[in-house]
Structure 1
Amino acid sequence: MRAPLQATASLCAVLLAVTACTSTKDQADDGLSVVATTEILADLVRNVGGERVRVDSLVPPGGDPHSYEPTPADAKKVAKADVTFTNHLLLEEQRLIKAIDANAREGTPNVSLAEASETYGAHVIPLVENVGLDVLWFGLRVRGDGEQRGATRSSEVRLTATAVEGPGKLVAYLTESLGKPVVYFDSGDGLSDVDSTTLPPAAHTHLNWAFTAPGTYRLTLRAALVNGGAEVELGEGTFTFAVGVDPTGIAPTVLGEGHTDVTVDLDTGELYTFNDRAGGTTQQVVPAAQAVIEVPNKAITTVPDDPRFAFLGAAGASVHQLPQAVLGKHVHGEIDPHLWQDVRNGRAYAELIRDTLRTADPDGAADYDRNARDYLARLDEVDARVRETVAKVPRNRRHLVTTHDGFGYFASAYDMTVAGFVVPNPAQEPSVEDVRKLTETIRNLKVPAVFMEANLAQRGSVLTQVARDQGVQVCLLYGDSFDERTRSYADMMRHNAEEIARCLA
């Protein structure tokens, strides 16, 4: 892999070494030791656990779980914990999840709240991306859970380019947030094991796909499941591209619009194309042998005058390129992970936390039951308060424009609309097109306010500038973390409702 896998492996080695130096059981006398990935989850645990638990949040106050990476100190906390809670659904950085799974003591509960809470009545919604490019949006995806093959949330799927046929070279690369390219596949210097990349299970990512000459290309990819140091071969597929030429007749199905991914199916081992032509509402599988991916002449661009892009050719040279669509590394799943923005989902989290603590500490079962009853009643009051407060906003003004796409559950639960955001994920940087769309959204909907997230204020300069240009107010919401003014989940949800009503009503 041309992306920095070695650094990840080194960090995991450090974390495992830390674990080896800790005792196998270090439960203090003053309560059950619990580790949660975020402040929000930690607060839920404190309310259910009460005086019987000691809770640490790995992501620090004001931190961003989308990008936070683990430290050796985090490994020590996990190694000593009696219970570990994550949100998962790919909310947290994958290195953090892998560090937790590598360091959690055998036999201790290690619970993915967002995934397991569905059995407690949590409502999940798909994470729909619709960038609206005028050429195909082409990425990589892993589907299925692969349980029969031994896959876990710490597993990875490795995709390796083994052959490319065509009149020029094919390069698939990522453009990071600050514009640095990271090459994944490059046929120009011959293919080897370095022409590979990895994805966690149930994940999707974005890439640029560049071709240096028009014609028909065929790319063969091999997939393997990676568990620790062991690899299990999954399958192989050959994908056809019509670059600057008529795709008709090359294969039965032409893929030339919407969103398509080279997809590895963990359950079957197959590689195929997974296609979305209607903004997330209609998806279909087309076998690789039956599909041709169109790269039209309107996808022609020039190689930047930047030595970092020399792998594409000389500066100013023409290449056909399917663009990355969103700038920066952006790995996510098919389900929106921000479940807690619907208080009813927060309630499901609390019930799951209660039952997990009861299992880890049976002697405290009565305390956990009592605490949970009291807390669930308070959450019911919070939910009613949020619903009543948002209802004060006229329906034609219930439009949310935010820093990142983290409020889909709030909108769904409380009858609002996510009208726009700067970027889908806070780890990304907005493009010129993102800024243009945001400006048009604010102007066309005549929204009186946009909403900055407290922990993303430093990255919200684009939203602030657009709001200033359009003469609208900038207000404050809490998405993934707290600050010194708001220190609990209940306070966060009340604040969000009241701020929305104040700024939009």
Structure 2
Amino acid sequence: MPLLPPGRWRSLFAVLAASVVAAGCAAPPALSDRDGRVQVVTTTGLLRDLVRNVGGARVNATSLVRDGGDPHSYEPSLRDVRNVVYADVAFSNYVMLEEHNVIKALDANLRRGAANVSLAEAAVKYAAEVIPLVEDVSLDAVWLGLRAAGDGAGHGADRSSEVLLSMTGARGPGNVFGYLTGSFGDTDVHFDSSDGFDAGDGYGEDTATLPADAHTHMSWAFTEPGVYELTLSASLRVDRRSRPVPMGGSTFTVAVGVPAPSGAVVLDRGHADLTVDLDRGEVYALYDPQGGGEAAQRVVPADEAVIVVPNKALAEVPAGSGFGFLGRPGDRVFQLAQAVLGKHVHGEIDPHLWQDVRNAMAYVHVIRDTLTAEDPAGAVDYRRNAEVYLDELDALDRYVRQRVSEIPEARRHLVTTHDAFGYLARAYGMSVAGFVTPNPAAEPSLADRRKLTDTIRNLAVPAVFLEPNLAGRSSTLTEVAAQLGVRVCPIHGDTFTGAVTTYVQMMRFNADSLRDCLR
């Protein structure tokens, strides 16, 4: 998910506010005036299908992300916001599956008193199992990202709140830039010392924004060797009407192409995040030299840390207007590249829980209980519908397991467009052998392509799997498959298509495709 430029946030909120006014400042019509059904809005079509199976005729369910759309990058429309305004119940997957603008549109416009449920989190009490995300930080230098630690609940924050991290000063022999790198020529610059600093109200030119309890990848560039001091300040904006709450600030030392000062904690490999701690109101570094993820990171105070940018990080400025802020094409800069290319903000949990049918069954339990609380008169119907659907899902779970068992064990290797099938692999005895990028918004690098090629060749993988909605962005997968003479087969991850319009159809389709293409 992209960190949006300051103007985009303001424009979005202006549109959302206008849409609420257009819908009417009075309370939404009574349930009896809206065809007598419970009005439900979900973030994705997959969740909409689960709700319809439990709610039956008593529920009218719509989704914000259209079928075929990508929840990782979808931008809500005015019509979407109107559906939220009139909803009695809202269901999202969350754990940062959806684009943050979708969550902000949902939370900002849902009427007071309406149920607002994050299914992936709520389903844990019904034995849903989650998988932690592990970063690939196989780089020649430290991966330096940004993180918001904690949920800010003590300040009244929720999942639609924003953490603002501003660069307010930079001292050193050259200029420093912090930016997100997408496809070639596609960059979003968030920190730029060449034109001074203007953090302003928290939406200035040198401010990055994050949801609470999230982190993002970041590229950094320094134009000259030497020692730099970078000053960062942080704040928390609870909602669009509130003034930002200060969250502290710190100055970090960066040694670019020169030895680190003695006595410092050297951050020179693995995984490091410049971190806003919402519970402690501090800014510090979280560091793990082995790249094992947040749980393995330790706190390093800013005044003890030195971030090392080695001489081997020298790179030439690419041609193209997207990198013009760094200098002329061919100019040399010291660069800390992103561990994973692409605009990708995420938490610590793999959000694709439904690829394990048992987890989808836990979602059904949560939906049943939520609808019953909203509409007690329908309790018998919701319980009956849920029981019938759970029996169908139980049979579906057995079907997927049987189909995968028909694949020879040595061939149960899954190579896909992006990393969305960890739950399927764990639940049904497969291995995720490789993927083009961890996130569909990411642009594959040459290293990604080489790794993918070696994986397919070394494991003698007979087929790779492509999500239909990502076909337009899958040239790397299809080109590598053609080069090695392996099949490209369809698989559904986040969304439905014209041929697959229900969750049961999707999982049966995936199971059949895996068996037919790998057996």
Please indicate the TM-score interval, normalised by the length of the shorter structure.
Answer: over 0.9
Q: Which amino acid aligns with 1:99?
A: A
Given that residues 168 and 197 in structure 2 are in contact (C-alpha distance below 8 angstroms), is that contact kept between their aligned partners in structure 1?
Answer: yes
Aligned AA (1:450): V
Instruction: Give the alignment partner of residue 180 of structure 2, picking from 174, 187, 190.
Output: 174
1:496 matched to 2:497: no
Q: What corresponds to 2:345 in structure 1? A: 331
Q: 4+ residue stretches of structure 1 with deviation over 4 A?
A: none
Deviations 1:438-472 (A, max 9, x none): 11111111111100012112222221111111111
Tell me the alpha carbon deviations over residues 393-430 of structure 1, each in whole angstroms, 9 at most, x when there is no partner: 23222111101111111112112211111111111221
Candidates 261, 269, 274, aligned match of 1:262? 274
Partner of 1:275 in structure 2?
A: 287
Q: Report what 1:246 is aligned to.
A: 259
Shift of 1:288: 2.0
Q: Is the 8 A contact 1:451 1:477 kept in 2?
A: yes
Please tell me whether residue 209 in structure 1 is matched to residue 220 in structure 2. Answer: yes
Choose the corresponding residue for 1:350, options 364, 382, 390.
364
Aligned residues of 2:267 and 2:289 also touching (Cα < 8 A)? no
Q: Which residue of 1 aligns with 2:83?
A: 77
Alpha-carbon distance in 2 for matches of 1:372, 1:94 = 30
| Equivalent residue in structure 2 for 1:449, among 455, 463, 467 | 463
Match of 1:57 among 52, 60, 63: 63
Once the two structures are superposed, the pairs formed by residues 354-433 of structure 1 within 5 Å of their partners are: 354-433=368-447
Q: Could you tell me which residue of structure 2 aligns to residue 285 of structure 1?
A: 299
Tell me, yes or no, if the aligned pair for 1:237 and 1:288 is still in contact at 8 Å.
yes
Whole-Å Cα distance in 2 between the matches of residues 41 and 89 of structure 1? 14
Deviations 1:95-150 (A, max 9, x none): 11111111111100011111221122111111112141111111111111111111
What amino acid sits opposite 2:246 in the alignment?
E
Q: Is the 8 A contact 1:3 1:183 kept in 2?
A: no
Task: Indicate yes or no: 2:236 matched with 1:225.
Answer: yes
Contact kept, 8 Å, 1:225 with 1:233, in 2: the verdict is: yes
Aligned mates of 1:375, 1:157 — CA distance in 2: 40
Structure 2 Cα separation of the partners of residues 435 and 442 of structure 1: 11
One-letter code aligned to 2:22: C
Contact 1:2–1:195 (8 Å) recurs in 2: no
Paired amino acid for 2:285: T
* Alignment partners' CA distance in 2, 1:207 and 1:182: 10
Q: Deviations over 1:195-250 (max 9, x none)?
A: 11111112211111111111111211111001214200011122121111122515
CA distance in 2, matches of 1:412, 1:141: 28
Deviation track 1:26-78 (CA, whole Å, cap 9, x = no partner) reads 33124111111111100000111111101111111111111110010001111
- Secondary structure of the structure 1 residue equivalent to 2:128: coil
Q: The residue matched to 2:346 in structure 1 has which SS?
A: coil
Residue 2 of structure 1, CA deviation: 10
Task: State the one-letter code of the partner of 1:238.
Answer: T
Cα separation, 2, equivalents of 1:189 and 1:465 = 42
Distance 1:40 1:52 in 2: 19
Instruction: Render the CA deviation track for 1:285-340: whole Å, top value 9, x for unaligned.
Output: 22222221110000001223444433323432221110123333111111111111
TM-score (ref. length: structure 2) = 0.94
8 Å contact from structure 1 (residues 419, 441) kept in 2: yes
Which residue type is aligned with residue 271 of structure 1? Answer: V
* Cα pair distance change 1:378/1:279, threshold 3 Å: farther
Q: Does 1:25 align with 2:22?
A: no
Moved more, 440-449 or 178-187: 178-187
Change (3 A) 1:131 1:446: farther
Cα pair 2:500 2:506 within 8 Å, conserved = yes
User: Mean Cα displacement is larger for which, 283-292 or 424-433?
Assistant: 283-292
SS at match of 1:289: coil
How far apart, in 1, do the equivalents of 2:214 and 2:160 lie?
A: 12
RMSD of the alignment, in Å? 1.7
* Paired amino acid for 1:79: V
Alignment match, 1:130: 136
User: Contact 1:215 / 1:243 at 8 angstroms: preserved in 2?
Assistant: yes
Tell me, what secondary structure is at the counterpart of 2:244? strand
Instruction: Give the structure 1 partner of residue 110 of structure 2.
Output: 104
Match of 2:5?
A: 4
Residue deviations 1:347-385, cap 9 Å, x none? 111100011101111110111111111111211111122
Q: Secondary structure at the match of 2:466?
A: strand
| Aligned-partner SS, 1:288 | coil
Shift of 1:8: 2.6
After TM superposition, the structure 1 stretch with the greater mean CA deviation from structure 2, 24-33 or 216-225, is 24-33
The whole-number CA distance in structure 2 between the counterparts of 1:453 and 1:131 is 25
CA distance in 1, matches of 2:102, 2:342: 19
In the alignment, is the contact (CA less than 8 A) between 1:250 and 1:292 conserved in 2? no
Indicate which of 475, 479, 488 corresponds to 1:461. Answer: 475
The structural deviation recorded for 1:435 is 1.3
**Relative to structure 2, which stretch is displaced further, 44-53 or 326-335?**
326-335
SS in 1 for 2:98: coil
Instruction: Show the counterpart of 2:165.
Output: 159
**Aligned position for 2:202:** none
Q: Which amino acid aligns with 1:313?
A: G
Paired AA for residue 120 in structure 1: Y
Q: Partner of 1:364: helix, strand, or coil?
A: helix
What is the TM-score of this pair, normalised by structure 1?
A: 0.96
Alpha-carbon distance in 2 for matches of 1:399, 1:452 = 14
The one-character-per-residue Cα deviations of 1:234-280 (angstroms, maximum 9, x if unpaired) are 111221211111225151x2111112111111111222222233342
Code of the aligned partner of 2:164: R
Q: Deviations over 1:4-39 (max 9, x none)?
A: 221232222222222223352233124111111111
* Match in the other structure for 2:208: 197
Q: In structure 2, what is the Cα distance between the partners aligned to 1:326 and 1:124?
A: 22
TM superposition shift of 1:476 = 0.9
SS at match of 1:351: helix
Distance 1:226 1:245, change over 3 A: same
Structure 2 letter corresponding to 1:158: L
Look up the equivalent residue of 2:6 and give its one-letter code.
Answer: L
Letter aligned with residue 143 of structure 2: W
Amino acid at match of 2:19: V
For 1:280 and 1:503, the matched residues in 2 are separated by: 33
- Give yes or no for contact 1:177–1:427 (8 Å, CA) kept in 2: no
Number of residues of Structure 1 aligned to a counterpart in Structure 2: 504
SS of 2:303's partner is helix
Letter in 2 for 1:452: L
Structure 2: gaps (5+ residues): 200-204
